[in-house]
Structure 1
Amino acid sequence: MRRSQCRSFQITFILGLCLFVWFFVSYKWFKNSPYYKISESQFDPSISKVLSSLNSWNLRTRQDLPNQSQEAAKLKSRDNLYKNVVFERLNDIPEVKEGVLEFIQRSEQHVLVKNETGSYFIEKYGNYSSLCTDLHSDIQDLFCMTKLPYLEDVKNPCWYELGCDGKLDCDQTLRLRCLPYYHILGCAKCATTDVYNRLIQHPQIFSNNGILHKEALWWSWYKYGITNWNIKRIQTFEEYTSRFDNTAEHIQTLIQDGSKLVRKIITGDASPPDFWDFRAWPLLAQNKGPEPTILTPHIMKYIYRKPKFILILRNPTDRLYSDYYFSGYGDNPYSFHQDIVNSIWTIENCLMNHTVQHCFYSADIFAKLKSRIHFGCYVVYLKEWLKMFDRDQFYIVRTEDYADDVDKYIAEIFDFLEVGKQHI
């Protein structure tokens, strides 16, 4: 009997110890996750923090850009990073030297910079944005990336960098990389998939390697290691560009053949969350205050040459009803009514004390909502995009109009993208 009791005690002790270790490891992982950092840093429940935040919101404070002395100090600190590195300036591009930072002369106007984060042809050394803040963050600060040297004779935004991963038809030292020429920004449940699938039927428009060969989901989700409600592995800018390797491979072949089609081939990214999901703004190093100063449009403006954006917008009520069932919030009219009422109350309650930006871009508010009702406030998000890009870079159509005459609007989008006429 005693031996049996002793064995039971040992088993119980071992199981308890395993459970304790599991809880400890899970807590440490969650503590270090990006999503936890958003909630912890942005939503301190203390009264002093709330009062301080309210005072800042009332004053409409914004982070100032670095002044000249700050920028000079920043450049000086970058020079210190390179003081123990050998710099090379050569007429011919050599084989890649692992672990060495290289400055390689390509022409009088361009220099190739290579370090552990990538390699890029740039116009001159130190060609960073003044917004560059964090060179060593887990989440890439794209303002610290040198300007991409887009090829002038190629319509789609593409450039060469060192290396070849075996997937692309490239030589031993150079690899062609591409970004999308256009983005279908949204909105969700407004017929973005139908528009995209019709566009890629055009012989000059290529699909991508994202979800459904449509959605890369990088700018607002994978860049920060989040999705709709879940935490994911953080993905790099290089992983994002790999979604367009099929287009890069085709364009590389055209370049080698001397074909003029390089001035016609394009690819796109149809990721609706890019339009509205700014929840991860506290993870951007430039955002120090209670509200964001930098969002996805600001980053895209720095990275791109002149992208084109397509927006298809549906009646907000119809869009909400479709999205509610699609997203799995509920399965009957009663739950729909109750959840929408609760969602409206949550947003209105937030707006009593905070700004529209705070409430609509908040990870905390998003987690409380019983529906994605805020998507339908299109103007809130569109204003952010129009701050950074000209109106002629957007093609906007209502879902209802599109459904009435699909051929007409697809033809208009082809014109907007400057591709040849094609009957779909």
Structure 2
Amino acid sequence: MSMLYWQRPTSRLFLGTALLGGACVLTLLSLYGYRYGDAWPFLDELSVPRKVSNSWSQSKVGSGNEMANPNTFGLGEKTQQVATLAGFNMTKELRRLHSGVFSALPRKFLPDYKNPCWFEEVNKKDVKPKERWQKRVLHNGTRHFLFRCLPYFYIIGMPKCGTTDLYHRISKHPEVVHGQKEPHWWAKARIHNLERYLKLFEEAAWAIRSRKTKSLTSAGQEIDYHGAITGDGSPSTIWCNGYWRDQQWDTPNNEPPILLANLLHAVQPHAKFILTLRNPTDRLYSEYLFFSGGFRYNKSLTDFHKRVNLAIGIFTNCLRNNSVRSCAYEPNLPATRTVRLRLGLYEVYLRDWLSIFSRDQILVQRLEDYSKDLRTTMTEVFKFLDLGPVKEKAEQDAIFTSNTQRSQTKSYDKIGQMLPKTRKVLNKFYKPYNQRLAALLNNTDFLWQ
């Protein structure tokens, strides 16, 4: 075709119209998330459909990336009976109490991430320039996204059982991103919108997204896989259930019909939990020493002994009209904060959690074993979290080298070891609960004899 043809006015008009139309098509494809070249590679990470849904999924749990159906909660036999007798609707109550949590969850987590993550679409007007995460908003034409992640694992208890040391050692693994040690959000602040909790893991989420390796799918296709994880180390998660007491539910024996475990199961049915325990007698005394700096009275061995006897008397009085389970979850027993006797009733809390989550989702360890053989214990933790071996010597030293310095050395040196008569009283009180715990776990080490 000659150059003279393109010099005709009608031909130039046709060419200009075609080019303009093609540009419009490419622009529309870009706006709606279709790739050309490498313009929006992050959209390949979005689950189908590309526009992230904020609605709650009603589908049953299938793969590990799907959300739970709130109608398929695993309730303990006793809890289920309480709910039935009271005409209790678990789904309705969880939706009513925590609508802000459910509305913020995606329909599915991203399949190429080990950690539960997703892209949340946000309005441009909500992207404030002064927000610290403003620079991390991903843009695709007129659409804007934030990258969100929940923890992959939770250290759920117990206080003064080495959870801080455990969390920091886990975080030193090359496949783990340091998240938040003790936000206590689920146990004490879950009445607020989930947005607050997600912001706590904002840095961790961005680090997880930046870490990737090449992986092959079952079809042989090479993809980027993000294998890093993060965790929540709040030791109040397993036992703190006091928020729902304000709801005034009419249930037999004054036992809670909803547990924090029910809510977590709704949000993350495949999450992993680590529970570290120690001799409950020693745990109670350690906690007494730990709180000494925040209270204006003189700590002493005799003071601890008096408070222990007072707490046992109050708990025994509670049992006259209530079940052990009711008293274990009762946050308003008139006892001092420094002697939280009920936190040593490990069997009560663990049995409830095992009625909701499967046994292979909860790793139970003893602080005594952790202190005696750190390498074996940490290796078991990494295996439980599906983490690879630690190869670098510097990382091995940071994880497996024991810290011989005790955090409460000054308190022990100043006050001294527990009085023998106090230990005898506490051992007698905790003995039947330790026996039930050992039977539950089929491990006599939890008798602490």
TM-score, normalised with respect to structure 2: 0.60
Q: What CA distance in whole angstroms lies between the structure 2 residues aligned with 1:144 and 1:244?
A: 18
- What are the equivalent positions in structure 2 for 1:2-401 lying under 5 Å apart? 92=32, 112-113=52-53, 119-120=54-55, 122=57, 129-130=70-71, 131-133=91-93, 140=99, 142=101, 148-163=107-122, 165-168=133-136, 170-171=138-139, 172-208=143-179, 210=180, 214-224=181-191, 235-254=192-211, 262-283=225-246, 287-289=249-251, 290-328=254-292, 331-365=299-333, 371-401=339-369
Cα pair distance change 1:370/1:402, threshold 3 Å: closer
Q: Which amino acid aligns with 2:210?
A: T
Give the CA RMSD over aligned residues.
Answer: 3.2
Q: Which amino acid aligns with 1:402?
A: Y
Q: For residue 67 of structure 1, what is the aligned residue in structure 2?
A: none
Give the match's secondary structure for 2:70. coil
- Quick check: 2:153–2:232 contact (8 Å CA) kept in 1? yes
Q: What CA distance in whole angstroms lies between the structure 2 residues aligned with 1:150 and 1:184?
A: 22
Q: What CA distance in whole angstroms lies between the structure 1 residues aligned with 2:169 and 2:338?
A: 33
Q: Deviations over 1:128-165 (max 9, x none)?
A: 7351347676x656467666411111000111111264
Q: CA deviation at 1:253?
A: 3.1
Q: What CA distance in whole angstroms lies between the structure 2 residues aligned with 1:207 and 1:348?
A: 42
- Quick check: 1:120–1:161 contact (8 Å CA) kept in 2? no
Q: What CA distance in whole angstroms lies between the structure 2 residues aligned with 1:304 and 1:134?
A: 14
Cα pair distance change 1:282/1:92, threshold 3 Å: farther
- Quick check: 1:181–1:308 contact (8 Å CA) kept in 2? yes
Cα pair distance change 1:367/1:321, threshold 3 Å: closer
Q: CA deviation at 1:250?
A: 2.0
Q: What CA distance in whole angstroms lies between the structure 1 residues aligned with 2:305 and 2:107?
A: 49
- Quick check: 1:264–1:419 contact (8 Å CA) kept in 2? no
Q: For residue 380 of structure 2, what is the aligned residue in structure 1?
A: 412
Q: What CA distance in whole angstroms lies between the structure 1 residues aligned with 2:58 and 2:384?
A: 30
Could you list the runs of 5+ residues in structure 2 that have no partner in the other structure? 1-30, 35-45, 60-67, 72-90, 128-132, 216-221, 391-395, 400-449
Q: What CA distance in whole angstroms lies between the structure 2 residues aligned with 1:147 and 1:283?
A: 29
Give the match's secondary structure for 1:220. helix
Greater gyration radius: 2
Identity %: 33
Cα pair distance change 1:255/1:160, threshold 3 Å: farther
Q: What CA distance in whole angstroms lies between the structure 2 residues aligned with 1:333 and 1:261?
A: 59
Q: For residue 20 of structure 1, what is the aligned residue in structure 2?
A: none
- Quick check: 1:169–1:252 contact (8 Å CA) kept in 2? no
Q: What CA distance in whole angstroms lies between the structure 2 residues aligned with 1:413 and 1:295?
A: 26
Cα pair distance change 1:354/1:135, threshold 3 Å: closer
Give the match's secondary structure for 2:202. helix
- Pairs aligned (count): 300
Cα pair distance change 1:397/1:260, threshold 3 Å: farther
Cα pair distance change 1:256/1:320, threshold 3 Å: closer
Q: CA deviation at 1:368?
A: 5.7
Q: For residue 16 of structure 1, what is the aligned residue in structure 2?
A: none
Q: CA deviation at 1:167?
A: 4.9
Give the match's secondary structure for 2:237. helix
- Quick check: 1:220–1:273 contact (8 Å CA) kept in 2? yes
Q: What CA distance in whole angstroms lies between the structure 1 residues aligned with 2:374 and 2:236?
A: 24
- Quick check: 1:120–1:160 contact (8 Å CA) kept in 2? no
Q: For residue 51 of structure 1, what is the aligned residue in structure 2?
A: none
Q: CA deviation at 1:347?
A: 0.4
Give the match's secondary structure for 1:203. coil
Q: CA deviation at 1:110?
A: 7.9
Q: What CA distance in whole angstroms lies between the structure 1 residues aligned with 2:47 and 2:371?
A: 51
Cα pair distance change 1:111/1:222, threshold 3 Å: same
Give the match's secondary structure for 1:407. helix
Cα pair distance change 1:195/1:260, threshold 3 Å: farther
